[in-house]
Structure 1
């Protein structure tokens, strides 16, 4: 079932509620610059096992409205709250990839984990995507600024270049083309705005506010959200388990999809 859920008076986000009669619910929050379709290979595994999979397109991406503003983590977390309330979700697993993972952490801290009983982080951009004083483990600020400049200059080329960093395992050209199209579905301004948010957003204090069991899945070859970020998440979230993916990059949901799906379904229960 497809919904457009109002999150602000003039902003609606797209939600695809797959297998709504499933026994346990997982709400997926995608990473930049894709949309909920990136989890196709999870949906196809989890649905036959009886799980309800809900894919949400963050504002500015996929089929959601694309306003000029509202791309800070607080507003994106508030959008998740609107979806959870609108669908009456309770006792769910909230899962997020990359920037989506960072936003789910902010949601848990800002909304006290409303409706969520378990959290799953996939190559999450937390506690900071970039290096900061006392935290030398992220990407450089210059790297992010180059992404922003490239998006202004030639967004399709930026997306192609980013896609080449994304996966550790070789993907087919048709798959690469499909993944590229997911990024093109976003608005250019939302693509830029979220990139700028990486420079401002920190989640060091948010980690300690996560009070539910948390699964951390992260590829050791990740060139976008470096593996030490996962270690910092594990150290900061009290009730967490870290599972390294030895043959994955940033796209571990496809690089090692069998292992990914197995670990996620075991965690959800």
Structure 2
């Protein structure tokens, strides 16, 4: 009997949800084969934001692992603590479960802050390179000795608006997400807004508190693995000053500037973003 050569090749079935504590499951996208690239989204998105990175990474023989943080997207949304230590521990448990080794950890915005805490706290377990994209670090809000980015009162107002009118908060956020209000087309804006609305109101507020209050300056010196800082020159959410401060604090780091981009360089300059990420991962 002639063998049927048109049958689909068997593929490995990977878990879509991983339990990180009792009754708390995180949504995971785990696709492709090769060196793992672990992607951590920003506030208040989910791992779905990396749709156009997943496709490129798979084509270039990488394993892409997107983790949706608790409280966001398709992950469970418990009440409780949402500080960076909690998120870093969740990531550690996911990487343990998946037995990930020698990965490139990529963090966008708040995800970049959490990635810094992860590498600092766990001494780079499972991770050999770090990519910080528009990261909300080392501090997202101003201090007496840190005059960059947002005043704390501005974040207090965001938290208040979250509980009064979250759709309006997200609409305001969308207007400053890119270099100009027309840098991203209406379809992309609608897609991102749908992802943002899938977060819980509680997690949205609690992570704003973490963004407002956390000072990662002591963590930067503990980041010793090769680090790529990618930042939009026209970023209105995490000003370019933050990229320079991260570079000054992380010895083994370099900056790639996205001259035409605001916060969303992963969409505004998509080909360049993917090319730089892949080049760094291959080195």
TM-score between both structures, scaled by the size of structure 2 = 0.92
Asked if structure 2 preserves the Cα contact closer than 8 Å seen for 1:138 and 1:229, the reply is yes
Asked if structure 2 preserves the Cα contact closer than 8 Å seen for 1:213 and 1:239, the reply is yes
For 2:67, the equivalent position in structure 1 comes to 56
Q: Secondary structure at the match of 2:77?
A: coil
For 2:226, the equivalent position in structure 1 comes to 213
Structure 2 CA distance, aligned partners of 1:121 and 1:268? 13
Structure 2 CA distance, aligned partners of 1:152 and 1:82? 31
Aligned CA-pair RMSD: 0.9
Give the 4+ runs in structure 1 shifted more than 2 A: none
Aligned residue pairs, count: 267
For 2:3, the equivalent position in structure 1 comes to none
Q: 2:257 aligns with which of 227, 244, 253?
A: 244
Q: 2:190 aligns with which of 174, 177, 181?
A: 177
2:276 is equivalent to residue 254 of structure 1: no
Correspondence 1:1-269 to 2 at 5 A: 1-19=14-32, 22-168=33-179, 170-269=183-282
Per-residue deviation, 1:142? 1.6
TM-score between both structures, scaled by the size of structure 1 = 0.97
Rg larger in structure: 2
Structure 2 unmatched ranges of 5 or more: 1-13
Structure 2 CA distance, aligned partners of 1:86 and 1:143? 39
What whole-Å deviation, never above 9, does each CA across 1:204-228 have from its counterpart, x for those lacking one? 0100001100000000110001100
Structure 1 unmatched ranges of 5 or more: none
Structure 2 CA distance, aligned partners of 1:6 and 1:118? 25
Per-residue deviation, 1:242? 0.6
